[in-house]
Structure 1
């Protein structure tokens, strides 16, 4: 456990016992992050897909070398109080405000993608989300730094249209590969609904790299 952002948040290592808490926050963050750039049923599909997200979490947290964190806001924190506000504070352990996981790749689902695989063992930033209420506080950067170490070769998948995310990762040394592919599963609507949507509302994903060329 460690304090970040001058004591405003606490990062705590994730364990298998945190599965439901982690995935519930993941679903909430997915809705906040992507609802404006995808179709109207995007958030509902992910809520209905919780069982699959729990299976994905179990696979990722069990991967050798996985790093995973949940972030909690310190009640009563003030800029003037700084770290002194955090010492001895009673955290709301059931209400995290950020999550992140990285692990060695490539992941199993990537074998189905029409791309050249990354070198075995390359660190993948699998998830990094914080609630919109924390944006601009530095929490996302603090979590990134705990997940991807300085000068560590790494890659990630980003959703087309998530310009805020792309800018953040570019600031941290990543570059877009430039090719995007239509997402599957809960990321995409049923074909009959997709046929009624403008192309930009269909979720597509592509890779970003730091330190490697594929």
Structure 2
């Protein structure tokens, strides 16, 4: 599959926000009730404005577009946010639409945002597909578990960590 990667700009805010929500629905539709998605869709304009503010600042996720120019993936990494962080770089987000799973888009996004660096991430405990992808990239569960906030129905997530690759 042909695709391109590039940093997001303020002009990407609406498709980025809508694709992110679509990816949540595809990824978590079996774990979260319809009300979760309906409330996010009802507040989409607020979410778009929040994204606009972030993109006007230093927030620069990497976007993946297919050959037709449709947004099919997004990823971002940055300074670790956890007090007990195992390293300084956190893979903070990666989503691809189901129609591009297994076609190299996710791998290209990971390579673009963290390269070979030591990094960690949080993944839902009940997300075996994502966990398998992360294991393929050298991540291992470190035994740390937490619950998401109530608006995410306190779904459990686990932390996965990897050492720097190669070098």
Q: Same fold (TM over 0.5)?
A: yes
Q: How does 1:17-166 map to 2 (within 5 A)?
A: 17-50=11-44, 51-52=46-47, 54-55=49-50, 58-59=53-54, 62-63=57-58, 68-75=61-68, 92=69, 95-106=70-81, 110=82, 116-118=83-85, 122-150=88-116, 152-166=117-131
Offset at residue 179 of structure 1 (A): 3.5
Q: CA RMSD in A?
A: 2.6
1:176 pairs with 2:141: yes
Q: Runs (4+) of structure 1 moved beyond 3 Å?
A: 56-63
Unmatched 5+ residue regions in structure 2?
none
Report the Cα distance in structure 2 between the residues aligned to 1:27 and 1:138, rounded to whole angstroms.
21
Offset at residue 178 of structure 1 (A): 2.5
Offset at residue 185 of structure 1 (A): 5.3
Q: When the two structures are superposed, what TM-score results if normalisation uses the length of structure 2?
A: 0.82
Unmatched 5+ residue regions in structure 1?
76-91, 111-115, 189-201
Matched residue pairs, number? Answer: 163
Report the Cα distance in structure 2 between the residues aligned to 1:28 and 1:169, rounded to whole angstroms.
21
